[in-house]
């Protein structure tokens, strides 16, 4: 990066910092309120909610990890984005009314009110471990890899700088996180389209963008299939039709509908505003593959045809030279012109920081409201809750830094797909969590012991299915598409299919346990729900239909 790029990066951070501080000072009087600090209650507009959702989601794991998956797998990885757009509509219509009608502010609070304190406490601990060990680690690692690759700074320095800035933003509360996120999303999307333009222009030459895209489609056609067949070497990552009717739904609905990190942005708003924000996020989601996945495929083409310095991607693994897909995005950044590169790097770094800040804010919210207040200090004042929330922000970030430095390379280095790492290990708990939420929402007879079964049993089922191939030959499952050969020559159940299987087992188990307990006279505490809650405005319905139409067209064109 040249001097002008560094000046732009510095100026960008100065302006965003001033803007964030201005937002903080405007509401400083309300800082004593935990609802304002953790939720920005009643103060986020629909566009701030939507932008914050995307800024928190489209971070290092998407920009670095998903670009890498585009490099390695192709357009099929876009299912996580395009199916998420439809998922956001479902969450807006069916999930958000339940949360807001019942005044739910944290996910453990929902479990406490719907089931009991034991289920809520177990899941609060589960979520804290998941957010720190999987999410904080992955965001810090992949963000630092990208920034180190473009800046030339050491990996350790990049990790520390990201963590320090994230703490600074998070200490301002959810309102600061929400409104600064809107800036990051604007520049990230803008610079993403510039990156798309440049990468396709390099491939197409003087014939322009359409020629570049046509070349990609014809010469790397294997990267333009949305649904993999069983003989595809990447079927284990995206097992065919499961992305439409199987485990992909579990991953998306759990992430967007049962995740404190995400839902927290809308829980402080009215239902119409929350729905508008979620719909806006859905439209932004439809754009993401254009600025993340397609450039990743373009880098793959350039790598294959020596149009870029392959040493920027190659690494040595087990004595062989292989491509590290996590380096595809840093290589794309190097192709950008002076000035644009500075804006892009600044927006990317700021989005990583925003995502980290949002994550530690969620960690802080769960720890403070669902553990500290209920176990350690039941009479805590609003001021004490905000103070403890800030302490939790600092401590969780420090733990994340230690884990990133110690475990990052072993978990996501050496050419591994960082995005797939996140999906698989989150999938150990998401089927049970989603089953517990889904039945808790819409079946009043679901009991707390049934929820406890899903919480613990879902994790146990996931572990068993993960390691089952080491004990039993699963080749018979191959003929029906539920097992494929992995890199070690062992028949393994793809993790998306594992999630679907575990979800079904959890629902069946919850149904049986609830029925048995219902017969014993146990009457669960159901939520307040009526059909009128799920009615939407005409404008929302029109926007939802546009997204559904686009999805049908895309999957038809690239099946």
* Token couple for 462: 């996931």
Q: Kindly calculate the radius of gyration of the chain based on its CA atoms and give it in whole angstroms.
A: 23
Non-local (6+) Cβ contacts of 549 within 8 A are none
CA-to-CA distance for 269 and 349, rounded, in angstroms? 28
Specify which of 187-191, 240-244, 343-347 reaches the highest per-range mean pLDDT.
Answer: 240-244
Phi, psi of 485, deg, nearest 5: -80, 130
Name the token pair of 432.
């049970």
User: Does residue 323 or residue 460 have the better pLDDT?
Assistant: 460
Question: pLDDT per residue over 12-68, tens digit each?
Answer: 777 777 766 666 666 554 445 555 555 555 556 787 778 777 766 776 566 777 788
Collapsing DSSP states into helix, strand and coil, what is residue 259?
coil
CB atoms within 10 A of CB 187: 18
- Ordered structural domains, the chain, with CATH: 3-9+43-426+529-557 (1.20.1730.10), 427-528 (no CATH)
Query: What's the CA gap between 107 and 134, in Å, rounded?
Result: 18
Separation of CA 203 from chain center: 31
pLDDT above 90 covers a percentage of the chain that reads 9
> E strands along 174-273, which residues?
none
3-state secondary structure of 174: helix
- Mark residue 484 as left, alpha or beta (left: phi above 0; alpha: psi -120 to 50; beta: remaining): beta
Residue 200: pLDDT band (50, 70, 90) is: confident
Q: Are 38 and 104 in contact (CB under 8 A)?
A: no
Tell me the mean pLDDT in the region 309-330: 69
Mean predicted confidence (pLDDT) in 135-145: 81
Per DSSP, the three-state class of 320 is: strand
Give pLDDT tens digits for 382-418. Answer: 778 888 888 888 888 899 888 888 776 666 554 445 5
Q: Which of 210-214, 254-258, 272-276, 331-335 has the lowest mean pLDDT?
A: 331-335
Overall average pLDDT of the 506-528 stretch: 86
Q: What is the pLDDT of residue 29?
A: 43
- Tokens 């890899």, located at residue: 145
The DSSP-derived string for 363-377 is HHHHIIIIIIIIII-
543 pLDDT tier (thresholds 50, 70, 90): very high
- 94-113 average pLDDT score: 81
Burial grade of 508 (CB within 10 A; 0-12, 13-18, 19 or more): exposed
Q: How far apart are CA 66 and CA 80, in angstroms?
A: 9
For residue 85, what pLDDT is reported? 93
Phi/psi-derived region of residue 425, left when phi > 0, alpha when psi is between -120 and 50, beta in every other case: alpha
Express each pLDDT in 243-273 by its tens digit: 888 888 988 898 888 876 666 666 667 788 8
Angle (CA) 424 97 92, round 5°: 50
Number of helices (H), then strands (E), belonging to the chain: the values are: 28, 4
Q: What is the pLDDT of residue 320?
A: 65
What is the structure's pLDDT at 272? Answer: 87
Given a cut of 80, whether residue 5 has pLDDT beyond it is no
Distance CA 65, CA 423 (A): 11
The residues, ordered by sequence, that sit 6+ positions from 397 with a Cβ below 8 Å of its Cβ are 136, 163, 166, 167, 170, 356, 360
For 315, the 3-state DSSP assignment is: strand
| Between 280 and 307, the higher pLDDT residue | 280
Rounded to the nearest integer, the mean pLDDT of the chain is: 79
Whole-model pTM over 0.85? no
pLDDT at position 414 is: 46
From the list 416, 313, 347, the residue with the least C-alpha distance to 143 is 347
**Predicted confidence band of residue 552 (pLDDT cuts 50, 70, 90):** very high
Q: Which of 59-73, 161-175, 192-206 has the highest mean pLDDT?
A: 192-206
Which of 287-291, 501-505, 525-529 is predicted least confidently? 525-529
Residue-level pLDDT at 43: 57
The residue among 369, 386, 396 whose CA lies nearest residue 110 is: 369
Higher-pLDDT residue of 153 and 431 is: 431
- 416-475 pLDDT, tens per residue? 455 666 677 777 888 998 999 889 888 888 898 999 899 889 889 988 888 887 778 777
pLDDT of residue 505: 94
Please report, rounded to a whole number, the percentage of residues in the chain having pLDDT higher than 70. 83
What is the model's pLDDT at position 415? 45
> What does the DSSP assignment read for 489-539?
S-EE--HHHHHHHHHHHHHHHHHHHHHHHHHTT---------GGGG---HH
Q: Give the separation between CA 181 and CA 246, rounded to whole angstroms.
A: 32
């Amino acid at each position: 990066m040249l001097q002008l790029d560094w000046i732009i990066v510095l100026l960008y951070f100065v302006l965003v910092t001033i803007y964030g501080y201005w937002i903080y000072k405007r509401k400083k009087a309300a800082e004593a309120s935990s609802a304002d600090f953790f939720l920005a209650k009643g103060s986020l507009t629909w566009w701030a909610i939507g932008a914050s959702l995307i800024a928190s989601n489209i971070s290092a794991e998407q920009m670095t990890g998903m670009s890498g998956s585009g490099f390695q797998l192709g357009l099929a990885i876009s299912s996580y984005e395009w199916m998420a757009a439809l998922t956001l509509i479902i969450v807006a219509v069916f999930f958000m009314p339940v949360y807001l009608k019942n005044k739910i502010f944290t996910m453990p609070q929902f479990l406490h009110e719907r089931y009991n304190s034991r289920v809520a406490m177990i899941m609060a601990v589960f979520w804290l471990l998941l957010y720190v060990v999987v999410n904080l680690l992955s965001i810090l690692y992949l963000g630092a890899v990208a920034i180190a690759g473009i800046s030339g700074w050491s990996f350790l320095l990049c990790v520390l700088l990201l963590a320090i800035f994230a703490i600074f933003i998070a200490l301002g509360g959810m309102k600061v996180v929400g409104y600064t996120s809107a800036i990051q999303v604007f520049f990230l999307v803008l610079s993403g389209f510039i990156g798309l333009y440049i990468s396709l222009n390099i491939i197409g030459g003087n014939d322009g963008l359409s020629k570049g895209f046509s070349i990609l489609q014809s010469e790397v056609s294997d990267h333009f299939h949305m649904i993999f067949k069983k003989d595809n070497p990447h079927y284990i990552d995206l097992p065919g039709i499961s992305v439409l009717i199987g485990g992909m739904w579990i991953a998306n609905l759990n992430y967007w509908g049962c995740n404190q990190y995400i839902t927290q942005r809308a829980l402080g708003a009215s239902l119409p505003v929350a729905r508008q924000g979620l719909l806006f996020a859905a439209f932004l989601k439809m754009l993401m593959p254009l600025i993340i996945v397609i450039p990743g495929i373009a880098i793959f083409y350039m790598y294959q045809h020596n149009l870029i310095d392959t040493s920027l991607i190659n690494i040595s693994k087990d004595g062989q030279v292989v491509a590290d897909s996590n380096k595809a995005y840093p290589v794309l950044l190097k192709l950008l012109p002076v000035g644009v590169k500075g804006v892009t790097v600044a927006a990317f770094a700021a989005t990583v920081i925003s995502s980290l800040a949002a994550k530690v804010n969620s960690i802080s919210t769960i720890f403070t409201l669902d553990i500290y207040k209920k176990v350690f200090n039941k009479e805590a004042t609003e001021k004490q809750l905000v103070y403890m929330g800030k302490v939790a922000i600092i401590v969780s970030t420090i733990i994340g830094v230690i884990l990133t430095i110690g475990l990052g390379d072993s978990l996501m280095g050496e050419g591994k797909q960082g995005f797939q790492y996140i999906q698989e290990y989150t999938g150990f708990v998401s089927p049970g969590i989603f089953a517990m939420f889904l039945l808790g929402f819409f079946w009043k007879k679901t009991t707390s012991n049934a929820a406890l079964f899903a919480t613990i049993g879902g994790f146990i089922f996931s572990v068993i299915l993960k390691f089952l191939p080491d004990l039993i030959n699963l080749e018979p499952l191959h003929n029906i598409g539920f097992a494929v050969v992995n890199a070690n020559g062992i028949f393994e159940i793809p993790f998306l299919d594992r999630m679907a299987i575990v979800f079904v087992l959890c629902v069946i188990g919850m149904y049986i346990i609830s029925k048995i307990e219902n017969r014993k006279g146990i009457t669960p505490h159901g939520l307040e729900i009526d059909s009128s809650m799920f009615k939407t405005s005409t404008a929302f319905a029109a926007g939802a239909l546009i997204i559904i139409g686009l999805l049908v067209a895309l999957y038809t064109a690239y099946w």
